[in-house]
Structure 1
Amino acid sequence: MISTLRRLGANERRMLHEVRRHGSMAKADLARVTELSTQTASVIINRLLEEQLVRKLEVQRGRVGQPSQPIALNSDGAYAIGIQIGRRTLKVVLVDLLGTVRERWELAYASPDADQVFAAIEQQLARLLSALGPQAAGRLCGVGVSAPRNFGEWEELLRMPPVDAAEWGSMDIGQRVQALTTLPVSVAKDTAAACVAELMVGSGRGIASYLYIYVDTLAGGSLVINGWPHAGVHGNSGAVGSMPMRPAAGGGMPDQLLSVASLVTLEQRYAAAGLADDAMADGRAMQTPWLPLTQAWLAQAANAIAYAICSAACFIDLDGVVVDGRCDRALLAALLDLVDSELGRYNWAGAARPALLTGEVGDDAKVIGAAYLSLHASFAPLQG
């Protein structure tokens, strides 16, 4: 399947960005905010209407001046496929131009077997193409993939079979997915993809620069600077999971944040006590008999995350920090309350304490963010 969508120019991308940001806008307002002439804006809008990327809403009457007809994105104007290859789950979604999830599929496992994962991806790609039909499938702009950047590391903490760790550690995931489709494939670190989702539809929409922290099987993060995802030289900005904690007793190697603030460590606490280890996904985590174990984990995790936030704020003048996770929302709220309390114990003289916000996208942030990688590549304004 080859996309029938053409590559858009800079002004067309700016126009679509403003329509997305405002929900709908009249032609005159679009010309004003994009600083284009009325004639140029009209030509671009008519072209986007012809290509069905935008649509006209009902005429608005009763205001001063001529009636206006707002322009909005056409949800069926384009689609993207998102794939999250995780340490515990494989997820696949189909989203439309508005970012609405149209199809969702998930496979859970204890450890990712590469043959099983890519066979499942191939099946799901074929299923989605069939479900869309030839005409709609031609409006697919691409496939986005999110995966841990260091997939083969921390195998001891994860109790990952060495053969799986070695295979994933040496694999070019993008190349493997590209072999399954003729659509363009975009790949990003999983927490960077989740950060893109938060930037597009979550708490990040109103913040210029923020650190993003995602509490998952292994905790990690990403970074947004001046409204743009900041990947860094190695595509690994905001890697808070790897941040060293305070020096270990006896001069040993310091623990990393992910060793105390990850869900895998909470799972292991539950399992060691003979309890169901998936309780963090629902309300059981905050109930007896899981609650004492949860509280002990929360105390350590909050302390580590607050330390990371304070350290980051000293290097980058942040507007805020957004924290989200693959866990029950009550558990996440309890974590943020404790992080906020821990932040109050630091001396902020000479540094600005950033606002602490709860992420809004939640459990599917990484897979939705993966789909947004393709939408972003096709329709977002050109940076610089």
Structure 2
Amino acid sequence: MKKTESGPGNMKGFIDDLKNELVRAREDKNRTTLLLVELDKEKNANKSSREFNLERVYKRISEILRNNDSLYRIAENRFAAILPVTYEAGGEAAALRLKKLIPERISECLNMPCSLSVGVLSVDPNETTDHKNLLASLEKDLFRDQECRELDYALIKKESEKEQTRHVVILGDKLPELDAVASILSLKDCEVHCISTLERGLNALRGHKKGVLVVAPDISVESRPETYKKIRSDRELHDIYIICLQKNSSMGHVIEPPSGLVDEILPADIGIDQIVRSVSAAFRVMDLKKEISKIPILLDIINFVGCTSHQLNQPLQVIIGKIEILLLNEMGDEDTCSMLKEIRKQALRAADINQKISRLVKHNISTNSKI
């Protein structure tokens, strides 16, 4: 990391170095990428504490960036960085590292939450853009990142709240024991419906990703199989866990329902605590099934990536071979020769990336096959 002043009024130093870097980039025909980092302002923090924390952030950012990058503190809670010889993808990668690592490191050091937004701008060496326009574009990208982050946070919060609500329907008469179960589950982020009719019970479960149906013991044994079949045949209720509370028969044993229709059978007198535990376990089982169902999809994706990587390798080798022939036959035109060398360089880079993908895919497939 190149040493720069870190004072709040260091905008002039940043602009001067930016102008010099743009001149150098045009001469060498290299792209330059700029970063604009804004730290969320801390509430309830005095000035000296905030200043100390910002110095910590400056130090952490400088540790993450490369040795030839330059970092400037241009405002109270803003930092700018110049990344020489860097394409936009490299700048985006650096921004992702900052957004991931800075909050983690600052939270560990200061025991306080920290978040930041990063604007990224890649400058084409052939463009003659005024530095003011560059800064305006960079700030615009920063605002875009802030808007996206706020939107992501809102969506995550909404999904989190939605996931936290777990729906339970107790089908049957409201017995004292089941009333107590409903009260306990309500304290465990569950929305409990005590409903006596089947259709109303099913309607309460429709439209939710998952739910638990507790069939009370007063539901007649004769009507239960039809109830279970109706639930299992309803596409909107495919992810419903059914717990059957069943009275002992006169023979002293529980009558088993048809296989596959009920997830769990409990004696009606098993107790409130066990029913509550079974409902809680039901949601964990459904979560586990959901995660397990993703494994075949992920394996298919890995297999597809492997096949694509294999197919891409052949045309890349042809391109590299043809360029080598052209370079051998090229005699006088330096510009053409220079362009061919650049194409060869990028083709070799693409081939190297493709080989890394291929090795990664082969490793994952071999590991999974052992499992």
Same fold (TM over 0.5): no
Q: Which has the higher contact order (CA 8 A, sep 6+)?
A: 1
- Range into which the TM-score falls when normalised by the shorter chain: under 0.3
Q: TM-score, normalised by structure 1?
A: 0.20
Q: TM-score, normalised by structure 2?
A: 0.20
Larger proportion of helix: 2
